[in-house]
C-alpha cells in the first residue's frame, strides 16, 4: 500500500479502521479478555500505522492488522503482568455467538461442546478461531501466530480429530432423535 499524501494516508487508515474494526475487536477481546485493553490496543495500532512513513511492505492488510494487534495486546498484558500463556491454558474460549448451535440442541449438548473446546490447548483454540471464524488460510495463521505453516496444519488437524472424537456421540444422538 502506497500513500502519496497525509490526507490520502488518513483516508486509507479510516477505511481500514471501518472495514476491520469489528473483526479486530472480536479477535483482540479473545486475546486480552478485556474490552478496554482491546479498544486501547486497536487505537494504538492505528496510531502506529499513522506514524509509519510508508506501507510498501504490507501486501494484505487484514493479516497484518490481526498480527500487529496480537503483538500490541501481548506487550500490554506482559507489562501489566496479566499474561500467562501455557500450552493448556483454557482462556481461548469461543463465544456462544461463534458456535452456531441449533436452537433445538439442549443444555447438555451445549455443555458437551464447551467441554470439548476446553480439551483443546490455547494454540489449538486460536487456530480454530482464525481458520473458521476469521477465514484465514494456514499461511496467514502462521504469520499471525508466529509459528511455522506445518505446525499450524498439525495443530489444526489434531484439534479437529480431538473435537470429532468428543462430538461424535452427540452427532449420533442427534441423528437418532431426528430418525
At 70-115, the pLDDT tens digits run: 989 988 988 887 544 444 444 454 444 444 444 344 566 667 777 7
Residue 2: pLDDT above 50? Answer: no
Q: Are residue 112 and residue 57 in the same domain, yes or no?
A: no
Instruction: Choose the final residue of a domain: 61, 79, 97.
Output: 79
Place of cell 449420533: 172
Instruction: Choose the final residue of a domain: 35, 60, 79.
Output: 79
Q: Are residue 67 and residue 129 in the same domain, yes or no?
A: no
Q: Are residue 114 and residue 162 in the same domain, yes or no?
A: yes
CA distance 106 to 111: 9
Q: Are residue 75 and residue 132 in the same domain, yes or no?
A: no
Q: Tell me, what CATH number does 128's domain have?
A: 1.10.10.10
User: Within a domain: residue 84?
Assistant: no
pLDDT value, residue 138: 94
User: Within a domain: residue 89?
Assistant: no
Question: Which residue range(s) make up the domain with 48?
Answer: 6-79
First CA to last CA distance, the chain: 55
Q: For residue 174, name the pLDDT band (cuts at 50, 70, 90).
A: low
Q: Are residue 60 and residue 125 in the same domain, yes or no?
A: no
pLDDT (tens digit, 9 = 90+) per residue, 113-166? 777 888 899 899 999 889 887 889 999 999 999 999 999 999 999 999 988 887
Q: Are residue 170 and residue 121 in the same domain, yes or no?
A: yes
Q: Are residue 111 and residue 174 in the same domain, yes or no?
A: yes
User: Within a domain: residue 90?
Assistant: no
Place of cell 477481546: 29
Tally of domains in the chain: 2
pLDDT value, residue 178: 53
DSSP conformation letters of the chain:
---SSHHHHHHHHHHHHHHHHHHHHHHHHHHH--HHHHHHHHHHHHHHHHH-S--TT-S-HHHHHHHHHHHHHHHHHHHTT-----TT----PPPTTTS---TTS-HHHHHHHHHHHHTS-HHHHHHHIIIIIS---HHHHHHHHTS-HHHHHHHHHHHHHHHHHHHHHHHHHHHHHH-
Q: Tell me, what CATH number does 12's domain have?
A: 1.10.1740
- Count of beta carbons in the 10 Å neighbourhood of residue 121: 18
Q: Average pLDDT for residues 173-179, to the nearest whole number?
A: 58
Instruction: Choose the final residue of a domain: 79, 97, 129.
Output: 79
Average pLDDT, the chain: 78
Amino acid at each position: 500500500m502506497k500513500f502519496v499524501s497525509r490526507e490520502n494516508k488518513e483516508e486509507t487508515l479510516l477505511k481500514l479502521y471501518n472495514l476491520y474494526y469489528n473483526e479486530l475487536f472480536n479477535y483482540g477481546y479473545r486475546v486480552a479478555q478485556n474490552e478496554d485493553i482491546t479498544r486501547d490496543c486497536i487505537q494504538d495500532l492505528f496510531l502506529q500505522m499513522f506514524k509509519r512513513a510508508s506501507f510498501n511492505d504490507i501486501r494484505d492488510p487484514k493479516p497484518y492488522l490481526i498480527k500487529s494487534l496480537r503483538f500490541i495486546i501481548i506487550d500490554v498484558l506482559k507489562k501489566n503482568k496479566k499474561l500467562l500463556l501455557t500450552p493448556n491454558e483454557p482462556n481461548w474460549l469461543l463465544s456462544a455467538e461463534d458456535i452456531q448451535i441449533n436452537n433445538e440442541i439442549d443444555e447438555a449438548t451445549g455443555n458437551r461442546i464447551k467441554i470439548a473446546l476446553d480439551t483443546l490447548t490455547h494454540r489449538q483454540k486460536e487456530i480454530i478461531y482464525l481458520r473458521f471464524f476469521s477465514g484465514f488460510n494456514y499461511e496467514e495463521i502462521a504469520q499471525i501466530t508466529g509459528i511455522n505453516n506445518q505446525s499450524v496444519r498439525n495443530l489444526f488437524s489434531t484439534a479437529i480429530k480431538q473435537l470429532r472424537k468428543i462430538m461424535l456421540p452427540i452427532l449420533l444422538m442427534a441423528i437418532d432423535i431426528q430418525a
